[in-house]
Amino acid sequence: MSNKIRVLIVDDSAVVRLTLSQIISSDPMLEVMGTASDPFFAAKKISEEVPDVITLDVEMPKMDGLTFLKKIMSQHPIPVVIISSLTEAGTQTGLKALEYGAVEIITKPQMNTKQFIEESQIRICDAIKAAAAAKINRKKNIEIQHVQPKLTADAMLSPNSVSHSMIKTTEIVVAVGASTGGTEAISTFLQAMPIDCPGIVIVQHMPEKFTTSFANRLNEICKITVKEAADGDNVLSGQALIAPGNFHTLLKRSGARYYVEIKEGPLVNRHRPSVDVLFRSTAKYAGPNSIGVIMTGMGDDGARGLLEMKEAGAKTIAQDEKSCIVFGMPKEAIKLGAADKILPLESIAQYVIKPNMI
């Protein structure tokens, strides 16, 4: 009996179905259960055999992906990974899909360059594994294994450059990292923030362009200002900066001014942007003037960086298991002793605002 994660691919493009099949089949933990060109054909396959995870396009004939997703979640919840094109309409629809219950959202692979294909393979396979382990009404305990090497934050910032002699100031910077399930967690966190909250920098594992739409949507529903970070943006009270997809985001300091640097670079801990990169730079340039928060997500990105922040004098928080969609990243940080506090999602904002009250 196979313990592989069984995947149903739903996309109207034969080329995309073939490409995804090849990518998914390359991972020994995954197998393609079947493919479907539209939701009606997919429903027929599901009635015959239930997959562990569905990859779903959002723009299809006969029935769009959002309608199909609603039906799945209301009738027979199955973890869904949205695979969408980088269009403005696609990003809005993709974010709506997350609200409707999709677990992950990633970019459709394009057969342009060897690097893009390799990175797409990592992202797609990891997203499927994360979805299989996510908390939804129907869940299956699957041991998640990584089969490809991953770089650490050393690829972007030397560990011996972290300073522990940062002078304490009254300006606090909050660094936040999240992955699977993080869009809802970050929304909850930011909506609880008052307009005079400390400046916040966030890494949410998400494709480029989707982070723009994500930031814009948060800006509409939060008291504070939320925007996608641009190179050189100041970190300001009452504002949250969302790291742009496909770029690393580092915190820097010039005198009393904190700002962000947006950089290209390799995948770190299988991600770009990487939480570890943000956390290490925060440890170096803010030290005891910072608060680190690690939220729901698969893998261990951010765990070592949170420990570096703690060792540099920062206050550190990990989201608790009960409120996580996937208790991976916080769990790894807790195992390292990196978290001062382990808190439910609803309590994290309160602690950030008044860290001595909890």
pLDDT at 138: 43
Helix, strand, or coil (residue 210)? helix
Q: Name the most confidently modeled range: 97-101, 170-174, 217-221.
A: 217-221
Give the least confident one: 71-80, 158-167, 332-341. Answer: 158-167
CB 284 within 8 A of CB 161: yes
Contacts (Cβ under 8 Å, ≥6 apart) of 229: 201, 241, 242, 243, 244, 249, 260, 262
Average pLDDT estimate for 115-135: 87
pLDDT at 93: 83
Length reported for the chain: 358
Contacts (Cβ under 8 Å, ≥6 apart) of 188: 345, 346, 349
- Between 168 and 311, residue with greater pLDDT: 311
Q: What separation in angstroms does the CA of 336 have from each of 77, 108, 131, 205, 340?
A: 34, 35, 25, 22, 11
Catalytic residue among 37, 84, 120, 179: 179
Residue at token pair 């690690």: 294
Q: For 320-347, write each residue's pLDDT tens digit.
A: 999 999 999 999 999 999 999 999 999 9
pLDDT at 141: 40
Give the least confident one: 26-30, 118-122, 299-303. Answer: 118-122
Q: For 241-286, write each residue's pLDDT tens digit.
A: 999 999 999 999 998 899 999 999 999 999 999 999 999 999 999 9
Give the least confident one: 8-17, 152-161, 323-332. Answer: 152-161
Burial of residue 205 (CB within 10 Å: 0-12, 13-18, 19+) is: buried
Q: Mean pLDDT over all residues of the chain? A: 88
Residue 154 annotated in active site: no
CB 333 within 8 A of CB 294: yes
Residue 301 annotated in active site: yes
Rounded to whole angstroms, how far apart are CA atoms 79 and 73? 9
Q: Label residues 321-348 b or e (16+ Cβ within 10 Å = b).
A: eebbbbbbbbbbbbeeebbbbebebebb
pLDDT at 125: 94
User: Does residue 162 carry a pLDDT above 90?
Assistant: no
Helix, strand, or coil (residue 176)? strand
Q: For 19-65, write each residue's pLDDT tens digit.
A: 899 999 999 999 999 999 998 999 999 999 999 999 998 877 777 88
What is the tally of helices (H) and strands (E) in the chain? 11, 14
Which structure tokens are listed for 202?
């966030």
What's the pTM value of the predicted model, to 2 decimals? 0.85
Catalytic residue among 205, 213, 233, 290: 205
Domains and CATH numbers, the chain: 5-133 (3.40.50.2300), 153-353 (3.40.50.180)
User: Does residue 137 carry a pLDDT above 80?
Assistant: no
Q: What separation in angstroms does the CA of 249 have from each of 93, 259, 348?
A: 26, 10, 22
Catalytic residue among 38, 233, 301, 320: 301
User: Does residue 88 carry a pLDDT above 70?
Assistant: no
Average pLDDT estimate for 160-164: 55
Rounded to whole angstroms, how far apart are CA atoms 329 and 251? 21
CB 101 within 8 A of CB 136: yes
Residue 248 annotated in active site: no
Contacts (Cβ under 8 Å, ≥6 apart) of 10: 35, 36, 38, 39, 42, 54, 55, 56, 57, 60, 65, 68
CB 262 within 8 A of CB 244: yes
